[in-house]
A = this chain, B = another copy of it.
Amino acid sequence: MKETDLAYEAMEQADEAAKARGVTSRTQQKGELNVTTVQVLNDRGAEAIGKPQGTYVTLDYGQIWQRSYEDFCRAAEEISTQLLALGLPEEPAPVLVIGLGNMDITPDSLGPRTASRIFVTRHLLEQDPALFQDWRPRSVSCIAPGVLGKTGVEAVEVVRGLMDKVRPSCLLVIDSLAARSISRLSVTLQMTDTGIRPGAGVGNTRPHFSRETLGVPVIGIGVPTVVSARTMAEDLLKRELPRQDEASAFFVTPKDIGHILEEVSKLLARGINGALHRGVDPEELERLAG
């Protein structure tokens, strides 16, 4: 099985017979958006595509940074809708948003970038509940826990410590993903109710952010930003390379990934803010996020 964080890609390369007993897939066209829902129904399905049982929604939004403000708004609204459909609880259930990854490595910066655009309310509600007059928002908190190599602590442990204090009903975890095909880089996003494993696509065995490990529903949302150079080589050569191959230290990424992620993080943030605070003007939420 080649390394990919996208259930959609994993399915493409899986054994047909195995899949038939445990994976379903359905694609909808919504204007310029393409929405594919993959469901892993049971253990056989999970084994067939190498992804945990659950639902994976892939939204192909294309080069959104080249599209109109209207297209941007429609894609964000679709993200909000899908997050709620995946089980993001209705208001006023408190939510903790997690931005995984490393701000200093551009293709790994989607999580922290998006996190910085989330409208957080928990402290406002505690400090001055009278602040909100027209509407009382749910409690939202948000953290970018950093990466193991820089903190010495697994991100999941930072979050676990925080959960004792914040007591969220649900976690929403944002991360950069690895794809297998360069044609998917930065133009698609995956949302799933199975959580996220930090750096999963690049072959590690790091602890999952999931309901099993954290005790509350965990919705993962990510965008593929890299193909590992080893995966690309394997695909081209049609054979496997050793784990320690030189290519493992390199990755393939779009030339202007910094600019792209700046725009894609705005899209994700608007979709997330919109799902967290239904019925509030999304521009207003961004101004409040500051």
- Which residues on B sit within 8 Å (CB–CB) of A237? 236-237
In the complex, are the beta carbons of B157 and A162 less than 8 A apart? Answer: yes
**Which partner residue on chain B sits nearest A287 by CB separation?**
B66
In the complex, are the beta carbons of B182 and A229 less than 8 A apart? Answer: yes
Number of copies: 4
Chain B's nearest CB lies how many Å from the CB of A235? Answer: 9
In the complex, are the beta carbons of B164 and A152 less than 8 A apart? Answer: no
In the complex, are the beta carbons of B123 and A152 less than 8 A apart? Answer: yes
In the complex, are the beta carbons of B259 and A104 less than 8 A apart? Answer: yes
A149-187 vs B: 1/0 string, CB under 8 Å?
A: 111111001101111111000000000000000110100
In the complex, are the beta carbons of A160 and B158 less than 8 A apart? Answer: no
CA distance A271 to B284 in the complex (A): 22
**In A113-143, which residues have CB < 8 Å from any B CB?**
115-116, 120-124, 139-143
**Which partner residue on chain B sits nearest A185 by CB separation?**
B250
In the complex, are the beta carbons of B158 and A143 less than 8 A apart? Answer: yes
In the complex, are the beta carbons of B249 and A255 less than 8 A apart? Answer: yes
In the complex, are the beta carbons of A182 and B247 less than 8 A apart? Answer: yes
In the complex, are the beta carbons of A252 and B251 less than 8 A apart? Answer: yes
User: A279 an interface residue at 8 Å Cβ cutoff?
Assistant: no
28 A-B residue pairings within 8 Å (CB atoms)? A65-B287, A66-B287, A68-B281, A69-B69, A103-B103, A104-B116, A105-B255, A105-B256, A105-B258, A116-B150, A121-B152, A123-B152, A123-B154, A139-B152, A141-B153, A142-B151, A143-B151, A143-B158, A144-B146, A157-B165, A158-B158, A160-B161, A161-B163, A161-B165, A182-B229, A183-B246, A232-B252, A259-B290
